[in-house]
Chain A
Amino acid sequence: MVDDLIPAPAAGGRAASAPLLGRDTEPTLFELSEPGRSSWQLRTTGVPEIPLDELVPERHRRRLPLDLAEVSERDLVGHFTRLSHRQFSVDLGAYPLGSCTMKYNPKICDAVAALPGLADVHPAAPANCVQGWLELLVELEAALCEITGMTAATVQPAAGAAGELTGLLLMRAWHGARGDTRHKVVIPDSAHGTNPASVTLAGFDVVTVPSDGRGCVDVEALHAVLDEDVAGIMLTNPNTLGLFEEDIRAIADAVHGVGGLLYYDGANLNAILGIVRPGDMGFDIVHLNLHKTFATPHGGGGPGAGPVAVSERLAPFLPGPRPIRVGDASSPRYGWSTPERSIGRLHSWHGNALVLARALTYVLVHGSDGLRDVARLAVLNANWLRKRLSSSFDAPYDRPCMHECVLSASSLKRATGVKALDVAKRLLEEGFHAPTVYFPLIVDEALMIEPTETESLQTLEALAGALERIVADAATPEGALAATEAPHLTPVRRVDEARAARHLVPTFDARTS
């Protein structure tokens, strides 16, 4: 049965994997535990073996032994290896998860991050011991400023949402320094959920502006909400529908006209690398998602990195301390400096440094032309899929897209009962990751597909073929039923999410008690 579902190998390669190996339930580490087993080995130190009761007063000592797990190294390796077999990843196959830019992660970046000269450096070491790191960060900041059309940057924010909050606090500080207290931040209705959540945390009120019939910001509606209480606007361009906001200059002029600032959410920067820059569009503050655009691996949910770049007038407010170059060009030295009117620190140390090292590596291997080609091929792939799939799904905004396309399973659902969620689950057993579903919220039964530039035409054909097959199969009652019961071939069948919330089991101990 399994063999029947695996299509013949495609010439040129086909980035898909079905099914995953890990079909058996894996016991938890705690169930594998066997009293008396252990894995740890520690250095022979010769330090005097002072008894615990001479080191820690009784009232501070743990009363019960800390029960973790007792496993051999062999069991530990077996356990996590079997878990890894129950996990889809970019290295296995295409991951067209819209808005997430799941491109292939070059292995050289991992090799760089593993260099002891980078990985084993203490973050509090004196500046003269970390000259290489400081130079690396200064060089990365400069590259990110060039890519975004900005003047200065901070690499402290650990992820996109942290970058958003940083940007909004910069906005608050900038207005505050002018004696101007503003309360509102404008967000389009197609925005990522982090945008409104960040606005609230930054102490502003969210004002939502609707999209027009073409999927872009309704400029008339925007004018209606703009006034001198608006601190700024947060935009993603291309937006979450994968569409370029053509009226961006008019939007920028309107927002600047009331004294507001423009914040660029870099979630979709991959589409425009080397083509057009946020700074040139009129943005004042930009965050970048290095784990998307710059291919740093996402690690099953993180780490990311969300540097923020700003125009000259906002540079004095950036978080500190910042890495800077001191001394002249012939004998550069590097140090730390906190900007004059800094909003303060955003991270325990200097940001997700090893992620930043990977990102600089990515920039250097690609260079100016390579980065532009990334954008071109990402947009080419997305448009190819959009056109190819427009006969299988609804295209709510039927015009050229950028790096991703948003389709809808609305008609499919009406005709067959098969929803976007079912399409996603069926695709999992075809060996691909699913697209993002039910986002943006303004599209019914949304399927948001972002193939990225690293997938081949053969992979796109296989992906489109799989989606077309899913739609065709749904035409029969048996096929529709199979879709609503999918997936069948994954390590587990459809997961009962409602039960997880109703009978909350957040730990192994909650399960057994």
Chain B
Amino acid sequence: MSGYTPHTEADITSMLGFLGLSSLDDLFAVVPAALRLAGGLDLPGGLPEPDVFARMQDLAAANRPCGRDLVCFAGAGAYDHEVPPVTRALASRSEFVTSYTPYQPEVAQGVLQAVFEFQTLVTRLSGLAVSNASLYDGAASLVEAVNLAYGATGRQDVWVSHGVNPTWREVLATFAAGTGHRIHDVPLTDGITDWAATAFNDADDPGAVVVSYPNYLGCLEDLAQARALCDRTGALLVVAFDPVCAGILRSPGEWGADVVVGEGQALGMPLSFGGPYLGLFACTMDHVRRLPGRLVGETVDAEGRRAYVTTLRAREQDIRREKATSNVCTNQTLMAVTAAVQLGWLGTSGMAEVALRSARGARYCRDGLLTVPGVEPLTTGPVVREFALRLPLDSAMVVERLADEGFLAGVALDPSYAQGRPDGLLVAVTERRTRAEIDAFVSTFEKAVR
């Protein structure tokens, strides 16, 4: 028996006796003998924790984490922002970590209130009135936003800017196989969505227009134009925003977004090889009854004291079944709690400071890299935190070369962002990058592309 099951032989004997059984195998008498696994699973025997820990340390040692030995200039949806000890400590409290979905609010006020605070913070960041309790990741939030727009408009055509993160667009395409939504790609011109190119011959008016702010290449889209397009066609405006850049940028709500989605990893989650991250989802009050997933609301208890509970439950799968607004059940609550802690730590001034310092670092780094012979900008307008370059060499190769020199140089762009060539590179700079790191990066970069 493992160290995690408390049963002694005497306990087992007594319990089997109570049930009138003579062996543990008798518990499975209902399983047809022909189906039962003879000889057990073909897996190694269990190992003591220290042995397993050593094995996992070996695996970890075969990776190159971001840090002193691999200075991170990569982003593309996963950013190396500061995660302070206080966020790590509070987010790893076992009351938050080892509880289930708050089905019994009388003993779940801790998680419920933390999520209520998270929802409030997301509405302030996004500028919309209501936020859910989280979804899996940015891509999942995008999928749900398009489904919400379909529910609201009954239209299945969706116009998606090419400036929306390409992996999110891939996920959207995967899900469209089930929903039947028709996804139309709107191209970029100089890094900005070219809405004039939306004369899709095969498309009706869209149910949703999706644009990213800042977009995948770090550029600032003209959301007023996207809003006008929605006003003209009756589509909902879905904005994929970045919660950190929102510290200095106009909120999507101010631009007139109907739905805001985003990736919340930058709000206190480590890079984590891509997960668990945090899908952000906010909408106007008009659409609250179409909101996917859980929503926490404030109420009172039997004595009139303030209390919190999951609400508008009739939207959800366990009640509504095949007519639910979404199939989501398990979400990313612990990450939402983490984000609430991180945003509390940053506060009003820190949030603006992180965004500003990231933008400064990006400007300084971009200016430096553009002095490297053969390196050219892929876009010319203003950028925040992230920017796209054209290199004189295949960018994936440059990334590998620079990794050998201690820099994660960025993310090689899909050729569709670089006029079909494999030489586009996306570089991100956060508030954690020092001038010395950036200077060393630029000089090493110069050697790598020579």
Contact = CB atoms under 8 A, between A and B. Distances in A.
Contacts of A168: 178
Interface in B386-443: 396, 399-400, 403, 408, 411, 431-436, 438
B177 interface: yes
A118 B238 CA distance: 34
Interface string B290-333: 00001111111111011111011100111111111011111111
Given A202-B178, A355-B276, A374-B2, A86 B109 contact: yes
Contacts of B403: 125-126, 128-129
A9 interface: no
A433 B363 CA distance: 53
Contact of A490 (B106, B178, B363): B106
Contacts of A400: 27, 29-30
Interface stretch (B14-22, B193-201, B202-210, B371-379): B14-22
B251 A62 contact: yes
A45 B27 contact: no
A506 B139 contact: no
Interface string A223-264: 000000000000000000001101011000000000000000
A445 interface: no
A299 interface: yes
B40 A372 contact: yes
Given A28-B113, A129-B70, A161-B329, A123 B98 contact: no
Contact of B360 (A26, A55, A499): A55
Contact of A425 (B106, B137, B174, B179): B106
B233 to A, nearest CB: 23
B107 A343 contact: no
A65 B63 contact: no
A52 B356 contact: yes
A182 interface: no
B306 A506 contact: no
B360 A48 contact: yes
Interface stretch (A106-114, A308-316, A407-415, A475-483): A106-114
Given A120-B271, A354-B275, A197 B96 contact: no
Contact of B248 (A61, A103, A132): A61
A35 to B, nearest CB: 9
Given A28-B113, A508-B120, A126 B396 contact: yes
Interface string A251-280: 000000000000000000000111111001
A46 interface: yes
A50 B364 contact: yes
Contact of A377 (B7, B101, B116): B7
Given A97-B100, A111-B53, A169 B174 contact: yes
Interface residues of A, number: 213
Contacts of A244: 30-31
A25 B300 CA distance: 11
Interface in A95-139: 95, 97, 100, 102-106, 108, 110-112, 115-126, 128-133, 135-136
A158 B275 contact: yes
Interface string A265-307: 0000000111111001100000001010001011111111010
B177 A343 contact: yes
A371 B220 CA distance: 52
Contact of A40 (B330, B346, B396): B346
Given A118-B273, A249-B34, A507-B120, 12 more contacts: A55-B363, A102-B100, A108-B53, A300-B101, A300-B115, A366-B46, A367-B45, A373-B1, A377-B5, A428-B107, A496-B307, A506-B311
29 contacts: A41-B84, A46-B436, A47-B360, A49-B360, A56-B249, A57-B382, A70-B348, A73-B345, A84-B95, A111-B53, A121-B65, A130-B63, A131-B63, A136-B59, A164-B327, A165-B175, A169-B175, A203-B180, A300-B96, A301-B102, A344-B177, A347-B171, A365-B2, A368-B42, A377-B7, A491-B106, A495-B307, A496-B299, A507-B129
